[in-house]
Chains A and B, each alone.
Chain A
Amino acid sequence: DAMVIQNPRYQVTQFGKPVTLSCSQTLNHNVMYWYQQKSSQAPKLLFHYYDKDFNNEADTPDNFQSRRPNTSFCFLDIRSPGLGDAAMYLCATSRGGQGPQETQYFGPGTRLLVL
């Protein structure tokens, strides 16, 4: 089945130790997104790629970086995780049309714990 896959599902890291979360998709969608969702809060868009074009949200901290080496894969790098970065990280994809009903499809998320 076509889908959005995130690995690992759970990640434990130490304060300040770089960590990479990965996302892959078999939908062949042009756009890949990364969201951060803290407990009982709304998912918050960090950035997205349209093909290789990177689009950062203005309020995304520099501590968060992303790479998209090819259409299928996208990575979220947290350079120096702090305790406040503990959250669920959600990857999503969409076709990349300009219509108002551009639907985003989410992966199962990676739950990050910072010790």
Chain B
Amino acid sequence: RKEVEQDPGPFNVPEGATVAFNCTYSNSASQSFFWYRQDCRKEPKLLMSVYSSGNEDGRFTAQLNRASQYISLLIRDSKLSDSATYLCVVNRGSARQLTFGSGTQLTVLP
């Protein structure tokens, strides 16, 4: 089983749609959870950290379910500029050892 698993997509959605991505992780001792976004041929950029209580940043909402070892990202009112690959990231061992999922590709269509 992979340490971090994501549905690779692609997800093709119209502008304005709501889209949700899921991610599962295998290490029950993990403490750090993030969503990064990566544009084509660019570096990953932090989108948001994921807190136990769930957190929201504008149109983006992240949820963590420790019991099920499951993380989600909800994007509301999708914009064309949201088109990217979304990477689920979880620590293993120390906070400095991050494992990245392979990413979920999102294309927002006009």
Residues of chain A having any CB pair with chain B under 8 Å: 31, 33, 40-45, 48, 50, 55, 57, 88, 90, 94, 96-109, 111
Which residues of B in the span 18-67 have a Cβ within 8 Å of any Cβ on A?
A: 31-32, 34, 41-46, 49
Identify 29 residue pairs between A and B in the complex whose beta-carbon atoms are under 8 Å apart, listed by A's number: A31-B96, A33-B96, A40-B102, A42-B4, A42-B87, A42-B99, A42-B100, A42-B101, A42-B102, A43-B44, A44-B100, A45-B98, A48-B96, A55-B96, A57-B97, A97-B95, A98-B94, A100-B31, A100-B95, A101-B49, A103-B49, A104-B46, A106-B44, A106-B45, A107-B43, A108-B43, A109-B42, A109-B43, A111-B41
Cβ–Cβ contact B43 & A90, under 8 A: yes
Contacts of A101 in B (CB 8 A): 32, 49
Which residues of B in the span 75-99 have a Cβ within 8 Å of any Cβ on A?
A: 87, 91, 94-99
Q: Which of B95, B100, B102 has the most CB of A within 10 A?
A: B95
Instruction: List 5 tightest A-B contacts by C-beta distance, closest first.
Output: A42-B100, A106-B43, A100-B31, A100-B32, A102-B95
Contact of B102 among A31, A41, A50, A96 (CB under 8 A): A41
Contacts of B98 in A (CB 8 A): 45, 104
Contacts of A88 in B (CB 8 A): 41
Q: Total interface residues on B, using CB and 8 Å?
A: 23
A-B contact count (CB 8 A): 55
Residues of chain B having any CB pair with chain A under 8 Å: 4, 31-32, 34, 41-46, 49, 87, 91, 94-103
Main secondary structure of the interface of A (DSSP, over half): loop
Cβ–Cβ contact A100 & B43, under 8 A: no
> Given that A90-B43, A103-B46, A106-B44 are known contacts, is A98 also in contact with B103, CB under 8 Å in the complex?
no
| Nearest neighbor of A111 in chain B, beta-carbon distance | B41
Docked complex Cα distance between A96 and B87 (Å): 22
Cβ–Cβ contact A42 & B103, under 8 A: yes
